[in-house]
Amino acid sequence: MNDKKAFKSIKKRLLWITTFFTLSVALLTSTYCYFSYQSILYDSLKQSTEYSLQLLAETIQYDLNNAMALADFCTSNGTINSYLKSSNKGQDNTVSLANHAWQRLQEEYLGNSSSIYLNRVIVSDLNNNYIQISPSVIYQNLPCAELIKEQPFFDKLYASDTHIQTGFIQDPITPFSPNNLVLPIVRPIYSVYGKEISGWCYLAISPGIFTNRLKSYNLPSDSKLYITLGDKTYIWENNELTDSGIADFTAPASAKKEGSHFQNLVSYESPNSSWYISQSVSHTALSKQTLIYMSSLLLIVGIVISLGLAFTFYIHHSINMPLRRLQKKLSSVSSGDFTSDPNIEWNNELGEIGRGINSMGNDISHLIQSRMKDQEKKYELEYEILQNQVNPHFLYNTLNSIIWMAAAQGSNGIVDMATSLSLLLKSISKKSAQMHTLREELDLLHHYFLIQKYRYGGGLSLTCTVESEDLYDCMVLKFILQIVVENAIFHGIEPKGSHGLIQITIGHMNGNKDLFISVTDDGIGMTESQIHDALNSEPDSSDLFRKIGINNIQKRIQYAYGPDYGIAIKSSPGSYTTVIITLPCQRKEDTGLV
């Protein structure tokens, strides 16, 4: 009975499940690694071997390229070409040209870093007349050119596009010297101004160009190293290259055929050449790495199992009590207790949850207090709005009384000004919409300008030209014209000290899609810095319209319609100022105000 209750414990069940899972993962991982590592290790060893072969081949190819550079020199040098041309034609200056060509060839030979591997260099014309360079004793009476041309390799190398087409051969010039092997190179020499062949060159490269590099190569004792030159394959043994006698070793791909004794062979072919180097994979190195890996794997598996078990007990012991405390705190928060509990803020992930719960409780408490304060402010704002509505109504009614009294006394100017001001206040206090028609805007501008006209004793004039009647129904933002006209009066005309004229022109633009409003005054004008300040800074004034400057109108337009619309100012100091307002041509039904 006790065992059943213990088994039903979540903590115990988690303990058994985690332990089983840890052991299963460790066993499966070790088994999988054991069977897959052989292939991975073998591939890694092959890649390492191929990389080593690549470095070795590149160093050998570097020496070969230097040697081949001498052959290229012989085929392209003008001095040698002149000698061959003269020799082929039997001219009198052939001996002089031959000496000059030999000296030039010797200079190039001595300056070549691979000259130590060049046993002989022969340059011959088509009639077997030749010059040669050789570090060994030169027998002048030998028909070297004829001996070379009689060799079976000559025609094959002479017609080949690549340098290396055959392996090492016995030097045909000194066949009586034993083991005097050379790698023959034959290249045709063409005339300078055409494709006619004027001769050929022959290079005899010693095996040292390969063996000197191979001696410093770290080759495992159970590995074999092969070098394939043309149709011959040589094996590197006892610091010597010997013919392996392998007939089917003709390409790197053939060395990888399953079932052949070359299936563990790694080959690397030098780019743009016709030779390649191969090496068999070392089983000793493979066995050593396998042993090291298996020892490391067993150690890691043991450590993983031990740490997994210890971690399992630690986790289950560490999360049980914190979870209970977190559950208790959540219950208290749901009951309305939002006070912080520092005992649940541990220095771990569960502590982050505890801090989140405390923060949540504080946020809820602050939110409740904030909502209460917002409700109080809402009541205060509603009362303030009610007061602001009462004041304009009271002033509007008072102005109506003044109008009747001024009319009874025959003061027509007072009647006009009070009437205009009354209509302006009526528009401000009773209409909450941000937009109205252009006709209504022009009516309000007329009332505003009438007040300013009386103020300045008739020294102001205003003209308004509208391109077509349909523009009157376009919707515009309220009071934008009053602000512009007021700036024209106070900052343009008033400083001038004389009569001023304001001209307003309204028309279509952009194919009747938009409209423009041009306001021009003949005041003192503006500088570029003043234009910049007007468009980018706020004026400091307590007047109703002065308080809302040109910059404010610019922002209102761009907030309402976007950055493609707004205000532009053109001015000439001492002459005029023109403010151009661009707006979209919208009807009331387009704005949703119907």
What's 5-27 look like in SS3? HHHHCHHHHHHHHHHHHHHHHHH
Please name every residue paired with 577 in a beta bridge, in sequence order, or none if there are none. Answer: 521, 571
Extract the tokens encoding 423: 């209509």
CATH number of the domain encompassing residue 482? 3.30.565.10
> Where a domain ends, among 329, 346, 362?
329
Indicate whether 405 belongs to any domain. Answer: no
Give CA separation, 369 vs 54, 366, 380, in Å: 77, 5, 17
Is 171 within 8 Å of 119 (Cβ atoms)? yes
For residues 318 and 446, state if they share a domain: no
For residues 474 and 512, state if they share a domain: yes
> Where a domain ends, among 219, 247, 280?
280
The whole-number pLDDT of residue 6 equals 40
Indicate whether 498 belongs to any domain. Answer: yes
For residues 460 and 538, state if they share a domain: yes
The whole-number pLDDT of residue 288 equals 72
The whole-number pLDDT of residue 4 equals 43
For residues 114 and 238, state if they share a domain: yes
From first to last of its 594 residues, what are the pLDDT tens digits of the chain?
A: 444 444 455 556 666 777 777 777 777 777 777 677 767 777 888 888 889 999 999 999 899 899 989 988 998 888 998 888 888 888 878 889 989 999 999 999 999 999 999 989 999 999 888 999 988 766 556 788 899 999 988 988 888 877 777 888 888 887 776 678 899 999 999 887 767 888 999 999 999 999 999 999 988 888 889 988 877 888 998 888 888 877 555 444 444 433 334 557 888 887 767 788 988 887 777 777 677 777 777 777 777 777 766 776 676 667 767 777 777 878 887 777 778 878 787 777 777 887 888 888 788 878 888 887 777 666 555 445 444 544 454 455 556 556 665 666 666 667 666 666 666 666 665 555 678 899 988 988 888 888 788 777 778 899 999 999 999 999 998 888 888 998 888 888 888 888 899 999 999 999 889 999 999 999 999 999 988 888 887 655 444 334 457 888 888 888 888 889 999 999 999 899 999 999 999 887 776 655
Q: Where are the beta strands (DSSP E) in 429-575?
A: 435-437, 460-466, 475-477, 500-509, 514-521, 566-572
For residues 62 and 14, state if they share a domain: no
For residues 234 and 91, state if they share a domain: yes
Structural domain containing residue 34: 2-49+283-329
For residues 247 and 154, state if they share a domain: yes
Give the separation between CA 81 and CA 327, rounded to whole angstroms: 99
Q: Other CB atoms closer than 10 Å to residue 369's CB: what's the count?
A: 10
Indicate whether 537 belongs to any domain. Answer: yes
For residues 517 and 534, state if they share a domain: yes
Host H or E run for residue 181: strand 181-190
Q: At what angle do helices 438-455 and 412-430 cross, to 10 degrees?
A: 140
DSSP string computed for 313-371: HHHHHHHHHHHHHHHHHHHHHHTT-----GGG--SSHHHHHHHHHHHHHHHHHHHHHHH
Indicate whether 356 belongs to any domain. Answer: no
Look at the chain and report how many structural domains it folds into.
Answer: 3
| CA 345 and chain centroid, separation | 42
Give the separation between CA 243 and CA 237, rounded to whole angstroms: 10
> Where a domain ends, among 294, 329, 364?
329
Is 209 within 8 Å of 56 (Cβ atoms)? no
For residues 275 and 143, state if they share a domain: yes
For residues 287 and 218, state if they share a domain: no
The whole-number pLDDT of residue 568 equals 93
CATH number of the domain encompassing residue 54? 3.30.450.20
For residues 165 and 304, state if they share a domain: no
The whole-number pLDDT of residue 387 equals 44
Is 162 within 8 Å of 186 (Cβ atoms)? no
For residues 22 and 140, state if they share a domain: no
